[in-house]
A and B are shown apart, each in its own frame.
Chain A
Amino acid sequence: MLVSLENAGIFRSNKWLVRGVSMGVEPGEIVTLIGPNGSGKSTTAKLALGVLATDEGTASRKEKLRASYVPQKLKLSPTLPLSVARFLCLTNKADRHQITAALRATETDHLAAEQMVNLSGGEFQRVLLARAILCSPEFLVLDEPVQGVDFNGELALYKLIEDIRNRLDCGILLISHDLHVVMSTTDRVICLNGHVCCSGTPANVASSAEFKSLFGERAASGLAFYEHRHDHEHRPDGSIETRDSAPDGRRGPEGGVSPPPASQKISSANPANPNRNNQDKVNQDV
């Protein structure tokens, strides 16, 4: 196990940003976090990387883990004279060949001498990815890595991510809103909404009747995906209301979570009691 979160939670500004998250990433595995905006995907990734400390539960990483990070947003000050090539060796020492190879992999080798502040959005994103794969990481966190990348580039970059996984046998934690790609290329999917709503292998998730209807509905109406499968409702303030049972006024119900059908590997975890439903492959691995 490269990284594992055990019942991890983080409390800021008088609320839990995420709570009761248990997950892990093995070498050679792509785990994807999906969820609506503000559901805590980036926060969970930062917990896994150790950028944020847990306020509850634990986050553990392999000793001397070589991690690479493509953050969702990175704002560079225009006062920084920073070329693409120099940016690539920001945290790692690399020679010219490695830099060129990494840039070529993301089709940006012609930009090596450009200044970072002058790059276009998509170019910047590609360079971020090139930097992350530069020094053969063991653990790669990609937070919406293809945002703003053109259509062909998107496919190519997802393919590159798979290639890297196969070649380096590194564990990848991917955050993506692109469900087509998530379902076709990743080993495990975790649906977040302040807590782990459901998780499992995409094959199992995708073969379920629920998912099919979700998938169709999502294409039609955006985030219907997250509502449909739920045994609980999310109030606008982030608290949770269980269906068919009175809200208890606190975050999360004490009971009333119906276990998922045994035939499916989708599991449902309750933030107040995250290990309640343990059919989840992710939870078992941790």
Chain B
Amino acid sequence: MFDDFFTRALIGGIGVALVAGPLGCFIIWRRLAYFGDTLSHSALLGVALALLLELNITFAVFVVSVIVSLLLVILQRRASLSSDALLGLLAHSALAVGLVVLAFMTWVRVDLMGFLFGDILSITTFDLTLIWGGGLFVLAVLARIWRPLFAATVSYELATAEGIKPDQANVIFMVLMAAVIAVSLKIVGVLLITALLIIPAAAARRFASSPEQMAVTAIVVGVVSVWLGLNGSLEFDTPAGPSIVVAALLCFVLSLIPIKVPYLRK
């Protein structure tokens, strides 16, 4: 059944949607959308380095993302620049450096569009193993740190005061984000990873009255978007990654239609 490229794409996409949902919720709760953008933009630098040093692309992207997120934490503590300026600076310089490095390597033929917008239809069985193996591992770790991470998300001070060690959970969370960006690179590409993380979670917000409910709903929205997007791209011959994001956007727009749900009234 994995022989069919479409099936592989579907399974890979669903694997990514599974981890993107809960992680996306934290990105929304913690207002980290720009942070996600920065990490995913720097993924291209990872790609360039992988080609240059002949490393596994997913692995190189993961390492670069972890380094960039640690760099951000350090810079935010020290620099007097505001964090949105820092994020923009890091994101676009990493993207630019990545593009320049790629341009220098005239001997490798790179499908740049594939990295920018994803190349879900070229997913191999090995990629699938990586996505599902990595994805399930990320979910397991996330479940383990869920409680302290959520407490730290609600209030860092409260969590610290009451004996929860939020810093540890925060660092693990960043590593998980780097991992998700690395495995979803092939599905939606550098430019659209953040969309896949936050749009399903944003669509889920309206229908959730508890954090866990929001995470599960985000997964469902993500899976539906992948399914819709891939079928749509087949039907209308559109690029797969952007089609998935458009499908997610449709779900979000649908979620805005006012239906009476009591706890949503602000």
Contacts and interface: CB of A to CB of B under 8 A. Distances in A.
B29 A80 contact: yes
B155 interface: yes
B158 A91 contact: yes
Contacts, number: 76
B220 to A, nearest CB: 15
Interface of B, helix, strand, loop or mixed by DSSP: helix
B221 to A, nearest CB: 14
Contact of B163 (A79, A91, A117): A91
B154 A76 contact: yes
B210 A83 contact: yes
> For this complex, into which size category does the number of interface residues on chain B fall?
20 to 34
Most buried by A among B29, B153, B154, B159: B154
Contact of B158 (A66, A81, A90): A90
A82 B210 CA distance: 5
Contact of B162 (A68, A80, A118): A68
Contacts of A118: 263, 265-266
B37 to A, nearest CB: 17
Contact of B160 (A50, A64, A66): A50
Contact of B155 (A67, A71, A117, A141): A71
A10 to B, nearest CB: 14
Nearest to A114: B263
Interface string B159-193: 11111100000000000000000000000000000
Given A46-B157, A69-B158, A80-B153, A91 B210 contact: no
Contacts of B158: 69, 71, 74, 90-91
Contacts of B151: 90-91
B29 A77 contact: yes
B145 to A, nearest CB: 14
A71 B162 CA distance: 12
Interface residues of A, number: 30
B125 interface: no
B122 interface: no
Contacts of A87: 154
Contact of A115 (B157, B161, B263): B263
B210 A51 contact: no
A64 B205 CA distance: 37
A125 B169 CA distance: 28
Interface string B31-43: 1000000000000
A203 B77 CA distance: 46
Interface string B199-212: 00000010011110
A76 B151 CA distance: 12
Nearest to B148: A91
Contact of A69 (B31, B162, B214): B162
A51 B155 contact: no
15 contacts: A50-B160, A65-B163, A69-B158, A71-B157, A74-B158, A76-B155, A77-B31, A81-B208, A81-B213, A82-B210, A83-B210, A91-B164, A115-B263, A118-B265, A141-B161
Interface of B: 28-29, 31, 150-151, 153-155, 157-164, 205, 208-211, 213-214, 263, 265-266
